[in-house]
Amino acid sequence: MESIERTTTRPPKTFARRKQAVLRQARRSRWAYVFISPFYILFTIFGLGPLLFSIYLSLTEWKGVGPLEFAGLENYARLVQDTVFWQSMRNGVILFFLYVPIMLLLALVLAVILNSGRVRGYRIFRTIVFMPFITNMVAAGFAFRILFTQQYGLINIGLGWLGLPAVPWLESVWGARVSLSVLIIWAWLGYNMVIMMAGLETIPRELTEAALVDGATPRQAFFHITIPLMKPVILFTAVTSTIGSFGLFAEVASLTQGGPINATITPLIRIYDVAFGGLRFGYASALAYTYFAIIFLLTIMQVRFARERD
Amino acid sequence: MNPQKLWKLLLLLLLAFSLSLAACDGGTEDAQLETPEEAVDEEVAEEEEAAEEEEVAEEASPESDEAVTDAQAKPSGSLLIWVQQANQDVFEQTVLDDFLAEYPDIQIEWVNYPPDEVASQLQVAIQGGAGAPDLAVTENRFIPRLIELGGLVDLTEQLQPYVDDLNPAAVEFGSKEGRHYSFPWDVGPVVTFYRRDLFEAAGLPTEPAEVEELISTWDKFLDACIQIKEETNANCLALNKANNYGDPYFNMLWQQGLDWVNEEGQIVVDSPQHVATLEKLGEFWEAEVVSDQLEWTDGWYAELNAGLDDASVSPVATVTIGAWMGNFLKTWIAPDQGGNWAVVHMPAWEEGGARSANQGGSAFIIPELSSNKEAAWAFAEFMVGREDNHLEIFQYSDYFPALESTYDAPLFSEPDPYFGDQVTRQVFVDAAQNIPNVGIYVPENSTITAALQTAVQKVGLGEASAEAALQEAAETARLETGLD
Amino acid sequence: MNRNHLREGSITVFIHLLLILLTLFMLLPFIWMLSTSFKLPQDVFGFPPTLFSKDSTLIHYKFLIEEQNLLLIVWNTFFVAFTSTALSLFFTSLGGFGFAKYNFPGKEPLFAFLLATMVVPFAVTMVPSFILMRYFKWVNTFWALIVPGAANAFGIFFMRQYIASINNELLDAARIDGATEFAIYRRIILPIITPALTSLGLIFFMASWNNYLWPLIILKTPAKFTIPLAIASFGGAVGLTNYPGQMAMSVISIIPLLIIFLLFQRRFVEGVMAGAVKT
């Protein structure tokens, strides 16, 4: 070793030191593999394994016991005509339009108001708006169910006091969808508001203040300065909400059970029903993969759409 | 080494890895798991296997249990039973104490689920290979699916002494290829309960003999309903639109011998008769003689229990449903209306047609995963295999016995004060013995039922015609089940 | 000027009105949950509705404790949430440390892969995971709720961001003193990242405490139930639905999280913000 070093043209000391450093780093980086390995081991067993197995499963007919029957693409051909599945996808889109714009606009307005510092006691308000986020949705769903009950539910009694007719909230297609949307807005408004607040902090306050000094109305400042600058944050919340509305489960299971006439069934509920109610694990896997592909495309489209508007 | 063990080993290594990392620094990372639990689980599994072998060895015990003096031959240990709450009450209020006196070494542990969930939870437990009870009571219609999964103990041998006395329709639910997997408890002959006081207020006859004639077909029933609505403003029956479970429709189908599939296993729910039947049901919505209360909700109970001049709730005049409803009305749904309710046969599809159908009815089943199959069988046999006990249970619950040898008992000709001293059980017996062929139950039944419920709801909400809704339901069901 | 003031004034009124209305909307379900849990079953839909009737009662809470094994259910939920949070925090902080402070071949693709795993929705792994759990004989055990998600990709990402901001000189100084790499993690990294651990831990704990679908698939016997399952399986039998009991259970499910939330609100909100904004 030493003799080789001596024959080099570089100053021997530096080289040795550097080599030692490299060796040390290599030794250290071995530890890095150890440190990150739990994720890869667990993911291989509990993520990748099931994912790959599920591809195979989607090509079979299997009731969960007994032999797997290979079925080729039959499951995928079948799901093309599965009206309930497509209804569930449609419901995801409908729900998205029912609650996402209102929720995000409300969250942004609240964030702007709270950030402006003109409201006293805003911490208390933030705490209250955020509370539903920590509530489990089974409890919340059943509580809303009691509130929305057609006869003697508090909401309809309240409407009666205002001289309005009772609404069949859980007994009609659109009533159920609106009820579900109200529950989701209630649950997620605080979360989105907090994220918007974090986003607003990255916008220099002088920008809006300068605009106001120049004679812009607060509304103009909001639409022409705040919203454009908040676009990445809004996009993030929109994407999460989209994925969220397709993947609702506990909310629907406790509030509407997917009814009436499948008006509030979501893809996740459909997959669950097919797998654990109908005993069709192969078909459920095909549904799940199709669902995954569609969600993936939707997300990409949303991001593209946002970019193009720039 | 089998692959399952290998995976587990890998995981244990991973855990060990994390623990040793923590240990090598003397840190106390909180990653300790309760490892004993797994060991216990495995032990249980082994015990189960052992129990299974035992069971094969001592299969010949029925009938003469009184003679059993040898304490060792008596089943013992803990017995986990899944039932709906109402059924547990029935046992507790009747002969449970006798059972515990006879089998002092059995400790019963109850778990209650909503009615449909006993079967669906059991199904997932069977699929998952763990978490099943030792014994379960579930509605007959769910049993074929559980048999198909291979999760139920074959009871053919033990059932031998009873099978000839049991209602054949009930036995059929729990049979596959000549083997029996259930011990039927009750059948659910459908009858029509009606309110004498409302009929009287509407100017209609009130005595059962006359009402039998008055509502002998669905058309005549509808006429009576219209008169009740006009005269008293009360609704004739509860028929929810948006969340309808489909039971009224299904009863009308079953009384005509119509079912989900035909003998060739083809789905037939879009046949002209099915469509005509749903159209008939639709007439009740169109005539606006029904309330929108959903069965088994507080609003429905309130209607059934409401008085004629109740200010807040308008009463409902009839309910067409399984005979077991008699006990529910009497004990907890409508205790205030003693003397007002009476019972007749359900209306027929057409004059002279069957005035009976089967709704509900349940049976005892023992999962393969049961860890105490002897005690499970002992319990089932004690409750419904012995005529005395079965009759006592029937007297309390009105769950109509599947054990037909009980029908001669004097109990069946006793008047019932709650029903204005009507001899209601004669109506039940007659209905039970005239249940039309219940048809072919397939494991896919529940999937088809779900599609049909949606169809009924669509017609109720006016979203589709009966024909269109049923066609869609049939297509959906064919697609999902793979049947033709 | 005067007109401006007027407008300012009306805006302020509008803002406060909005906030008051929203506060009511946010609180109403909680209030009604609490109020229902004290009512007799027949008073749930009483008319006119009352907030707290004269017949207010604690029987439903008593019923939960005496008949529904409340303490066991709360313990189950706590045990699963606590264990999985502890395990997750360990694995994610270790992984975050690995990615933040070391250079090693394959680091970039490995990290990209880790991020990519986050897009896989639960719907896709639900069925095959259940089959795997059955294969392990983990159905109806807590293992299935604790182990599979223990090294969460989001958590590693979150920790990496936080640990990257720690000064390298600190670590090098420790190395010169002869500390092992794990000791560096244990002695230097862990104390510094306590705030991040708290934020992430709160989110993990909450997610596990409230989780419904996966426990619904895995847990079969009521003795193993977690709180959301217990709420869902409530009553439902033929008979009067026990809404007050169900709401009492719901109240109990919320209180522990609410206390934790109020105590650690800042960390909690920080965790949510950091998770969202940095993605």
Judge: C239–B29 Cβ closer than 8 Å, yes or no: no
Q: What stretches in chain A show pLDDT beneath 50?
A: 1-8
- Shortest CA distance from A44: residue in chain C: C148
Using alpha carbons, list the distances in angstroms from residue B294 to B218, B239, B242, B246, B312. 21, 7, 9, 11, 18
The arithmetic mean of pLDDT across residues B183-192, rounded, is 93
Check residue B5 and give its pLDDT: 59
The partner residue sitting opposite A38, judged by closest CB among C11, C32, C151, is C151
Number of Cβ within 10 Å of residue C109's Cβ equals 9
C198 burial (CB, 10 Å; 0-12 / 13-18 / 19+) is: middle
Judge: C32–A249 Cβ closer than 8 Å, yes or no: no
Asked if C245 is an interface residue toward chain A (Cβ–Cβ < 8 A), one would say no
pLDDT of residue C120 exceeding 50: yes
Asked if A11 is an interface residue toward chain B (Cβ–Cβ < 8 A), one would say no
**Predicted confidence band of residue C235 (pLDDT cuts 50, 70, 90):** low
Judge: A83–B120 Cβ closer than 8 Å, yes or no: no
For chain B, give every residue range classified as CATH 3.40.190.10.
Answer: 73-187+361-406, 190-357+437-481
The arithmetic mean of pLDDT across residues B136-143, rounded, is 89
Residues 278-317 of chain B with CB under 8 A from chain A are 292, 299
3-class secondary-structure state, position B464: coil
C25 burial (CB, 10 Å; 0-12 / 13-18 / 19+) is: middle
Check residue B68 and give its pLDDT: 43
Which residues in chain B are contacts of C218 at CB distance < 8 A?
A: 128
> Rounded to whole angstroms, how far apart are CA atoms C41 and B297?
12
**Predicted confidence band of residue B71 (pLDDT cuts 50, 70, 90):** very low
Q: Which of B225-239, C121-135, C238-252 has the lowest mean pLDDT?
A: C238-252
> Rounded to whole angstroms, how far apart are CA atoms C242 and C61?
12
Judge: A83–B476 Cβ closer than 8 Å, yes or no: yes
Residue A7 C-alpha, separation from nearest chain C C-alpha, in angstroms: 30
- Specify the length of chain B in residues: 484
Which residues in chain C are contacts of B34 at CB distance < 8 A?
A: 142
C partners (3+ CB pairs within 8 A) are A, B
Which residues in chain C are contacts of A275 at CB distance < 8 A?
A: 126-127, 130
Number of Cβ within 10 Å of residue B268's Cβ equals 16
Check residue C276 and give its pLDDT: 58
Check residue B398 and give its pLDDT: 79
Task: Provide the pairing of β-strand B175-176 with B179-180.
Answer: antiparallel
Q: pLDDT digits over C33-85, tens only?
A: 999 999 887 778 777 788 887 778 888 898 888 877 899 999 999 999 999 99
Determine the Cα angle at C157 with ends C155 and C158, to 5°.
Answer: 65
Check residue B128 and give its pLDDT: 76
- Specify the length of chain C in residues: 279
Judge: B480–A278 Cβ closer than 8 Å, yes or no: yes
Check residue C15 and give its pLDDT: 84
C112 burial (CB, 10 Å; 0-12 / 13-18 / 19+) is: exposed
Q: pLDDT digits over C93-119, tens only?
A: 999 999 999 988 899 999 999 999 988
Q: Which of A149-163, B436-450, C163-177 has the lowest mean pLDDT?
A: B436-450
Residues 11-40 of chain C with CB under 8 A from chain A are 11-12, 15-16, 18-19, 22-23, 25-30, 32-33, 36
Asked if B12 is an interface residue toward chain A (Cβ–Cβ < 8 A), one would say no
The arithmetic mean of pLDDT across residues B244-248, rounded, is 91
Residue C163 C-alpha, separation from nearest chain B C-alpha, in angstroms: 19
DSSP C146-204: HSTTSS-HHHHHHHHHHHHTS-HHHHHHHHHTT--HHHHIIIIIHHHTHHHHHHHHHHH
Check residue B399 and give its pLDDT: 87
The partner residue sitting opposite A284, judged by closest CB among C121, C127, C185, is C127
Chain mean pLDDT for chain B: 83
Residue B31 C-alpha, separation from nearest chain C C-alpha, in angstroms: 5
Judge: A276–B124 Cβ closer than 8 Å, yes or no: yes
Judge: B479–A78 Cβ closer than 8 Å, yes or no: yes
Check residue B438 and give its pLDDT: 64
Check residue B188 and give its pLDDT: 87
Q: State the best of C127, C135, C227 to mutate against chain A, taking most chain A CBs within 10 Å.
A: C127
Give A248's Cβ-side CA count (13 Å radius).
33
- CATH number for the region B73-187+361-406 comes to 3.40.190.10
CB B293 within 8 A of CB B243: no
Check residue B16 and give its pLDDT: 56
Q: State the best of B9, B13, B25, B127 to mutate against chain A, taking most chain A CBs within 10 Å.
A: B127
The partner residue sitting opposite C141, judged by closest CB among B25, B41, B84, is B41
Which residues in chain B are contacts of C222 at CB distance < 8 A?
A: 111
pLDDT of residue C239 exceeding 60: no
> Rounded to whole angstroms, how far apart are CA atoms B388 and B390?
5
Check residue B57 and give its pLDDT: 42
Chain mean pLDDT for chain A: 86
The partner residue sitting opposite C140, judged by closest CB among B112, B117, B131, is B131
> Rounded to whole angstroms, how far apart are CA atoms C67 and B85?
13
Asked if A262 is an interface residue toward chain B (Cβ–Cβ < 8 A), one would say yes
| B190-357+437-481 is a CATH 2.40.40.20 domain | no
- Shortest CA distance from C136: residue in chain B: B4
Which residues in chain B are contacts of C136 at CB distance < 8 A?
A: 4, 7-8
Q: pLDDT digits over C220-230, tens only?
A: 777 889 999 99
Judge: C122–A247 Cβ closer than 8 Å, yes or no: yes
At B134, the amino acid letter reads: D
Homologous superfamily, domain C65-277:
MetI-like (1.10.3720.10)
Specify which residues B343 forms β-bridges with.
B193
> Rounded to whole angstroms, how far apart are CA atoms A177 and C78?
34
Check residue B252 and give its pLDDT: 95
- Shortest CA distance from C133: residue in chain B: B128
pLDDT of residue C1 exceeding 70: no
> Rounded to whole angstroms, how far apart are CA atoms A191 and C276?
10
Task: Provide the pairing of β-strand B237-238 with B290-291.
Answer: parallel
DSSP state of B30: S
Asked if A171 is an interface residue toward chain B (Cβ–Cβ < 8 A), one would say yes
Asked if A47 is an interface residue toward chain B (Cβ–Cβ < 8 A), one would say no
A partners (3+ CB pairs within 8 A) are B, C
Judge: C180–B332 Cβ closer than 8 Å, yes or no: no
Which residues in chain C are contacts of B41 at CB distance < 8 A?
A: 137, 141
pLDDT of residue C154 exceeding 50: yes
* Torsion of the alpha carbons at B161, B431, B411 and B81, rounded to the nearest 10: 50
B partners (3+ CB pairs within 8 A) are A, C
Q: pLDDT digits over B345-399, tens only?
A: 999 999 999 999 988 889 999 999 999 999 999 999 999 999 999 999 988 887 8
> Rounded to whole angstroms, how far apart are CA atoms B336 and B304?
10
> Rounded to whole angstroms, how far apart are CA atoms B302 and B296?
10
> Rounded to whole angstroms, how far apart are CA atoms B456 and B476?
14
Q: Which residue from C257, C244, C268 is spatially nearest to C62, judged by alpha carbons?
A: C244
Asked if C116 is an interface residue toward chain A (Cβ–Cβ < 8 A), one would say no
Number of Cβ within 10 Å of residue A148's Cβ equals 25
Q: pLDDT digits over B52-62, tens only?
A: 444 444 444 44
The partner residue sitting opposite C45, judged by closest CB among B34, B114, B298, is B298
Which residues in chain A are contacts of B123 at CB distance < 8 A?
A: 276, 279
